[in-house]
């Protein structure tokens, strides 16, 4: 089910760009208000000729043949436009395994266009301007959700999970990690020959608006896999790395307290993966959308953190490290709120006493409603 918010009630002076914005918003699942700020962002991302071409995407994914049927343009022009839009992170093109033809997918605003703008880690004036425009959009989303909180929450409940949280492998209770395939990072890495290393777009975007990562986590430690990796390498969004190098970077991310988040094709855990991010709660788009009251934290997990009361000394390290703020101290012992635990294993990995482990409790959807903020709109 596609989510939607009422359009921001402002005067839109350009119907053409409104149509372009609506086309891009409809390509995704998250609610984005179509506003002058969004239109300003799109005008900074593409020229009018490219924007007019985008209007051919009446559905998000099209083959070259389908584009020709809709656009009535010659192959040379279409391919040139697609190349321009792919280099700009507006469209991605990947080979269909079943049909054996290129499929071109229009990116929604978030996740999609946002990520591809900051994958390369560039810091030009244009990049800084785009980062500020995205921040304005995220604030508009927050205002819209908070104003319509109860109605929007009901829509969120029937939307699919955004990602899958994979635990720190060595913190999983012995004998439980092999119950379901692909529940640890090594399995994912070993299953793909094409892996691209990219910049963490979230941490880079935060850096561009002078709000850098609070834990000083590395920026170059997110990955594209399979067809997405091939696209990223060809379009110079990332660089090819070996499986050994990828695993080394994942282990480094764990030591920094980052969460492994896997993004499946069409958010379907039974399909292949497009990306794995190593996320900090202070920068990650998904965590920040939750904390800013925009989106729920909706992920797939199979684990819960369990505390051994006989070992725990109540030092509070897990309270500090938990990205979901789901652990507190009760009677000088760590206590985990199971409703908010995403089973990432960060607490267990950093517990100095080894008092926490991950227990496999079965495939589950974790849904934590967006924060209800105290604002003049709520």
Q: Residue 198: CB partners within 8 Å, gap ≥ 6?
A: 119, 120, 220, 222, 223, 224, 232, 237, 238
Question: 22-78: per-residue pLDDT in tens?
Answer: 999 999 877 677 888 899 999 999 999 999 999 999 999 999 999 999 888 899 999
CA distance 98 to 267: 19
Q: Cα separation of 284 and 312, whole Å?
A: 29
Considering only CA atoms, which of 367, 373, 377, 349 is closest in space to residue 172?
A: 349
Span 279-334, pLDDT tens digits = 999 999 999 999 999 989 999 898 999 999 999 999 999 999 999 999 999 999 99
Omega before 111 cis (within 30°)? yes
What separation in angstroms does the CA of 268 have from each of 38, 163, 188, 226, 275? Answer: 28, 9, 15, 16, 13
Name all domains of the chain by residue range, CATH numbers in brackets: 15-150 (1.10.10.10), 159-368 (3.30.70.20)
Please tell me the predicted confidence (pLDDT) of residue 361: 86
Give the span between the Cα atoms of 2 and 32, in whole angstroms: 11
Q: Could you report the per-residue pLDDT of 104-160, keeping only the tens digit for each?
A: 999 999 888 999 999 999 999 999 999 999 999 999 889 988 998 988 888 888 888
Strands 91-95 and 259-264, bridge-based pairing: unpaired
**Can you say how many angstroms the Cα of residue 224 is from the centroid of all Cα atoms in its chain?**
12
């Amino acid at each position: 089910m596609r989510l939607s918010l009422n359009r921001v009630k402002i005067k839109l002076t350009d119907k053409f760009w409104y149509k372009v914005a609506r086309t891009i918003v409809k390509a995704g699942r998250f609610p984005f208000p179509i506003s002058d700020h969004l239109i300003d962002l799109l005008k900074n991302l593409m020229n009018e000729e490219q924007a007019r071409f985008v209007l051919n995407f009446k559905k998000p994914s099209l083959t070259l043949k389908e584009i020709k049927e809709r656009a009535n343009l010659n192959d040379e022009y279409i391919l040139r436009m697609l190349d321009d839009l792919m280099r700009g992170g507006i469209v991605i093109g990947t080979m269909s395994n079943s049909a054996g033809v290129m499929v071109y997918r229009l990116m929604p605003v978030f996740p999609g266009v946002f990520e591809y703008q900051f994958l390369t880690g560039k810091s030009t004036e244009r990049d800084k301007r785009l980062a500020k425009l995205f921040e304005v959009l995220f604030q508009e989303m927050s205002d819209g959700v908070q104003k319509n909180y109860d109605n929007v929450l009901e829509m969120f409940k029937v939307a699919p999970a955004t990602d899958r949280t994979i635990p720190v492998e060595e913190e999983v209770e012995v004998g439980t990690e092999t119950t379901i395939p692909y529940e640890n990072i090594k399995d994912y890495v070993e299953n793909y020959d094409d892996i691209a290393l990219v910049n963490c777009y979230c941490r880079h975007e935060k850096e561009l608006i002078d709000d850098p990562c609070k834990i000083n986590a590395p920026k170059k430690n997110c990955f594209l896999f399979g067809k997405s990796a091939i696209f990223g390498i060809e379009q110079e969004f990332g660089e090819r790395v070996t499986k050994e190098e990828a695993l080394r970077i994942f282990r480094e991310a764990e030591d920094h307290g980052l969460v492994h988040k896997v993004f499946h094709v069409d958010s379907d855990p039974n399909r292949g993966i497009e990306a794995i991010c190593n996320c900090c709660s202070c920068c990650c788009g998904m965590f920040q959308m939750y904390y800013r009251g925009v989106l729920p934290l909706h992920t797939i997990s199979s684990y819960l953190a369990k505390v051994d009361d006989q070992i725990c000394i109540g030092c509070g390290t897990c309270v500090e490290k938990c990205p979901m703020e789901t652990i507190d101290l009760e009677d000088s012992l760590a206590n985990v709120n199971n409703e908010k635990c995403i089973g990432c294993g960060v607490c267990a990995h950093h517990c100095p006493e080894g008092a926490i482990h991950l227990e496999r409790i079965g495939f589950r959807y974790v849904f934590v409603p967006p924060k209800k903020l105290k604002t003049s709109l709520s």
